[in-house]
Amino acid sequence: MSALHWLTASEAQREFGAHRLSPVELLTALLARIERLDPKLHAFIRLDADTAMGAARAAEKELSAGRVRGPLHGIPIGIKDIIDVAGLPTSCHSKILVDKIATADAAVIAKLRQAGAIILGKLSTHEFAIGGPSFDLPFPPARNPWNPDHHPGGSSSGSGAGVCAGLFPLALGSDTGGSVRNPASCCGIVGLKPTYGLVSRRGVFPLSFTLDHVGPMTRTVADNALLLDAIAGHDPADPGSAASSARYFGRMLDRGVRDMRIGFVRHFHEVDKPAHPEVTAAIEDAVRVLQTEGAQVRSVTLPSLNEFAAVNRVILCSEAWSIHAPWLRSRPGDYGQLARQRLLPGAFMNAGDYVGAQRRRLQMIAAVEEALRDFDVLICASSMDPASRIEDAAETSRTYPRQARTPFNVTGHPAVAMMTGLSSNGLPLSVQFVGRYFEDATVLRVAAAYERGTEWHRMRPPIG
């Protein structure tokens, strides 16, 4: 058995079942690692260690009595601090809500508890999932375990940093323009933005009703499927929730990709936003791995990244303004500078802008749907550059929008980002796989085949 902090959820399950490990032992090891590393990484806003240990002791007693609550029984998980956990603050990393205590669990938290998971605490995010990395907020920004001088991606920054560093095996993030997949890309883990509507957003502070998703963040594809199984499902109290029968997301992980048709969206990183040469080389290598595994790969064209970004920006800013306008009018100084800067453009959007963006969005959905009639899955870039230095605001501002994640928030298709190499300065590089609506299991199948064909998922950051 490897060091306890590097156990995946799937491995911990097996150890629990064989009575070689207990939930208390695992949590004790993780808490010791958090105590040692989190002062450098700032993954946590609030660690709820005592409550977590009580839950671990209860899980251990249940195991001893032969009772298993669900597939995540005794497994610790970190929660992005825009998701309500009853009794804990949901601060959204902001002075605006710093003292707001959640009175009920979000739908996904209720599902996690039913599955037996142990809630470790609340994790750093960009302010209201949009403003960061920032140094003018009540809590410091999370840092990248591969090099703490660099940012870990956002806005689910603490989720990405904590999973990567072995502080917990599982985390929840949210994704409106790439905020699960950006930390996955920057930290070298697996981050899935599920099909729109597959996972309830009830009890999650909104940024954009049209674009928001909640998704799993893990170190392996198998754990990603396991966590998605626990949180997916129709919620009639969420107007955006879909009545889908999609389930058992790990059922095809071992099937491989032989004879699968994969569309390569080259123009995203070659023409629309030319990528760093090391990113380009890593994506090309990912394509070769899949071809070696038997996949058929051909180029495909979608609308340009600039078009996708413009549609995303109008919808996001308009909807975010509808949420934040009262506070921006009455308490503008209580926002960090970056969040205020990114939210205020919504005040200048008009109904024509919003309706036009929504109409163009439907055309973009049709374009991706047309491509997926010819292909089982698409492959494309995620980030166009390795993570910048966290205190280099100009470079972060330049590189942050250089990505290909936003298109699939606009269209709602499932998309997973994962590691596909290390840059010359030791930072993760990434690739993205995209699938048909509610065929998240197929996306994970391709990701699992790529994972088996490489060794990147075995790499560990040098933080210790």
Residues with catalytic annotation?
A: 80, 155, 179
- Compute CA distances 207 → 21, 313, 316, 323, whole Å: 40, 12, 7, 8
- Residue 398 structure tokens: 């330049």
Are the C-beta atoms of residues 440 and 195 closer than 8 Å to each other? yes
CB atoms within 10 A of CB 315: 24
Half-sphere exposure of 236 (CA within 13 A, CB side): 0
